[in-house]
Structure 1
Amino acid sequence: MLKVGDKLPPFEGLNQDGQTINSEKLIGKKLVIFFYPQANTPTCTVEACNLSDNYSKLEKAGFQLLGISGDSVKKQKNFHSKFAFPYDLIADESHEILEKFGVWQEKTTFGKTYMGIVRTTFIFDEKGICERVIEKVTSKTAAEQILEG
């Protein structure tokens, strides 16, 4: 998994509108990238809505936000439209970005082992250097976790 001190890995992905988002264009402002398992599921919705509800506070603190999951552009569009999120969601069906960040991992639920996304938030400085990694994301207070750093 990407750790503090690591550089933002280069990546490109399609957002909810099918537009290409390039990581190089994100450098210059503080950046929060949050990885979530699946659009429109209860816990992911709580997290994304908490970040949306606190977007002005995060923006005031100088952060830009980006959400990434393994969902399709269509699913991201539906999720984005349903809740009117003020930030982009990237569809990473190939898991290329997920693997670069190290959040595509083996998970176990009810004794069943499978590959999935580990809910994680990465915070980068203006130069694209990772300042913090939040591995134990609390969906209801995701924005507070970012702001308390």
Structure 2
Amino acid sequence: MVLDLLENFGKYVALNPFFPLVEAFIRDNKLEQLAPGSYNIKGEDVLLKIEMANGKSKTEAVLESHQQMIDIQIPLQQPETFGLASLASLPSADYFVEKDLSFYHNGQVQHYITCPVGGFLIFFPQDAHAPCISQYTTFKKAIFKVRNM
């Protein structure tokens, strides 16, 4: 997992061959002005989802993980808190191939971290995360889905 400010995203482009596409998109677009929806950046390898998320309490948020894709999550209006756990510490869970998603309803969050507006979090396949923890009922966020290479 990586937490940093968007102005520093360029320091991480060497981590994945598709990250330069994400960096260019962030540089060339004002994410906060994009309408909610899905944006295809490079086929099935790089996608962007702008959404109005529903805020959850720590007890409502559920840990999730992805095997094929890396999440780059960016709060656009308010800070967002995430529950974190190492995938190795969680019980096995069903994997939904079509959504590249596993949920850990009985998983134990090990840490919480808050990402500020102007920041980003990168979640790799080994990083289980419980998103959308917020005091706000709804908030706008960006999620880049990047193929794990």
Structure 1 length as normaliser, TM-score? 0.27
> Greater relative contact order (Cα 8 A, min sep 6): structure 1 or 2?
2
Higher helix share: 1
